[in-house]
Structure 1
Amino acid sequence: MSVVIRDPLAEDFEQWKVLFHHYQAFYRGHIPEDTVEYTWTRFFDPDESLGAFVAEMDGKLVGLIHYLYHDSTWNKNKSCYIEDLFVDKAARGEDIGRALLLKVAERGTEEGAFRVYLHTQEYNSAGRSLYDSVLPLSSFIVYRKNLPL
């Protein structure tokens, strides 16, 4: 089985949406459908800083990664933040997560980003094992508060 890491295509929406919902469930989250649809459209807008890759195996999507660029006060170049990474359970163990991470790092290099980084939950031991092998662990602790809309 060969895996292809590529940009998403418009016709990938239904398969991508299933993967994205599984990703949300893993993190015990729920994103409203209108936000999911809006996110999808942003991947195809050249004025957006949001990007994505999908992993395809035998004609089926088995993974996704979403990233975005943002300005920094520490460097003239942008940072690349990986917001979402998910590989279908049936396809795990094929190094798809690693390939997706490396593809974002490659794209970040092409786009002139000075770093790539991500956050994860403490309980995500499988993910953390992968991240530890690709990205150095930061000493930063994340504090956050969701603001009312």
Structure 2
Amino acid sequence: MKASEELAKGLQAVLVDLIDLSLVGKQAHWNIVGPNFRDLHLQLDEVVAAARLHTDTIAERMRALHAVPDGRSETIAKTSSLADAEEGLITTGQAVDAIVAALDKTVATVRGIYDAVEKADAATTDELNQIILQLEQFSWMIGAEKMKPTKA
């Protein structure tokens, strides 16, 4: 099967956000300070590893569908839907907010192409499901750092 232009464009958008998620995650990983530093530092490595794994899976799926992935830095800078990572040292609380936002935005990109991908190539939705499941779990687990209990 050969990817339609719409399918290739959608997968490219997911690829870009996954690459940027790994970059945002590493920037936070290197520059967080404050309470619960070590746990968040380690969690960020898990997010980065997952983003990189999913990046490779999507890029290789694109090639299997005869589409050409573009992971160049200029492409990421121009087309990512994620907010820019903060420069300098950031608190663990700021990192939690930034990473949860990046995870949620990446999931939104995946969900945004899901129906079109399902119509064009249902097999690729298996990969998208894995991305959604893992990134939503990371969002919940990292976001729990700042959640308030229902009873004090």
Which structure: greater helix fraction? Answer: 2
TM over 0.5: no
Larger radius of gyration: 2
> What TM-score results when the alignment is normalised by the length of structure 1?
0.30
> What TM-score results when the alignment is normalised by the length of structure 2?
0.30
